Amino acid sequence: MTVTSKILRVAAAQLAPVWLDRAATLAKICDAIKRAAEGGAQLVTFGETLLPGYPFWIERTDGARFNSAVQKTIHAHYVDQAVTISAGDLDPVCRLAAQHKIAVYLGILERGADRSGHSVYCALVYIDCNGVIGSVHRKLMPTYEERLSWAMGDGHGLRTHKLGAFTVGGLNCWENWMPLPRAALYAQGEDLHVAVWPGNARNTRDITRFIARESRSFVVSVSGLMRREDFVESTPHLDLILEYCEPVLADGGSCIAGPDGEWLVEPSVGSETILFADLDPVRVREERQNFDPAGHYSRPDVTRLIVNRERQSTAQFVDGAALGGNS
């Protein structure tokens, strides 16, 4: 491929975290970025909350028990290993993106410095090929037991980004089942959709092709892996977590579909890998000849979507200058 080529090579990095070890997991992510770039990728994607890991302990340790000392201890450790963007925790990823001229979609557990600094969000971060963070999308609605750990996000990160001849956007896990967030991205011209998952082909096998057919876009579903051996010994209450822990908690299932809904890369299960695919934007135009969900096949005079992209906060501070007084 040449620099002027409209073909975009994408990579789905299916990794297991070094669970709840931010530094060690970040090292694995950085290595995967380098390998994806060496493989010619211009975009590399990673699974949901891969950095530093998904809250697999909840359903295995009576996570809904109120005021539990066990849950408090594990959760405090989880928050401690979360990513604080303003503290520079993603700087190594940004530097590599700029160095290798590769864009990155990365699933993180974000410690919300703008919301007290003690609540955590499932967030999907887009970093462009200059190493600049373009958006941080906090998951709108954590799924089921996730609500015992993650706070609810907002619409601030429902944004798309130009990447070569494509417009790329992304959603976290079951957000991909939500019609209106998908529609918000379609309306912004999305023709390359990134769906991130903690792992399991049962999640990706059907919906990846469905979104591709619905949107007439390329869809990259990228998942993590999680096995018993991926828990680290320093994890609080590890004995309780492993007591009812199956050998494989997340088996992957990363895959890539074309805008006709057919597989470019079928779901990969059971091992760490980097999947590559070359995407031709002409295929989008061909498939949208008969159906364009935000274009000629839409009826905004009948149905329209309003999206609130304001970053939500519990307080708005107005200081002296803004009030017309002395600063």
pLDDT tens digits, 229-283:
999 999 999 999 999 899 999 999 999 999 999 999 999 999 999 999 999 999 9
Cα separation values, 84 from 28, 89, 99, 123, 132, Å = 18, 6, 22, 11, 16
Query: 28, 94, 139, 287: which is the annotated catalytic residue?
Result: 139
**Is 129 among the catalytic positions?**
no
User: What is d(CA 25, CA 52) in angstroms, rounded to the nearest whole number?
Assistant: 6
CATH code of the domain made up of 8-315: 3.60.110.10
Query: 94, 122, 173, 255: which is the annotated catalytic residue?
Result: 173
- 3-class DSSP assignment, residue 233: coil
Q: Using pLDDT thresholds of 50, 70 and 90, give the confidence band for residue 316.
A: confident
How many residues are there in the chain?
327
**Is 173 among the catalytic positions?**
yes
Taking only the tens place, the pLDDT of each residue in 175-186 is 999 999 999 999
Tally of helices (H runs) and strands (E runs) in the chain: 7, 13
Query: 48, 175, 214, 287: which is the annotated catalytic residue?
Result: 48
The residue extents of the domains of the chain are 8-315
What's the confidence (pLDDT) of residue 1?
44
Taking only the tens place, the pLDDT of each residue in 143-167 is 999 999 999 999 999 999 999 999 9
**Is 286 among the catalytic positions?**
no
For residues 200 and 223, the answer to whether their CB atoms sit within 8 Å is: yes
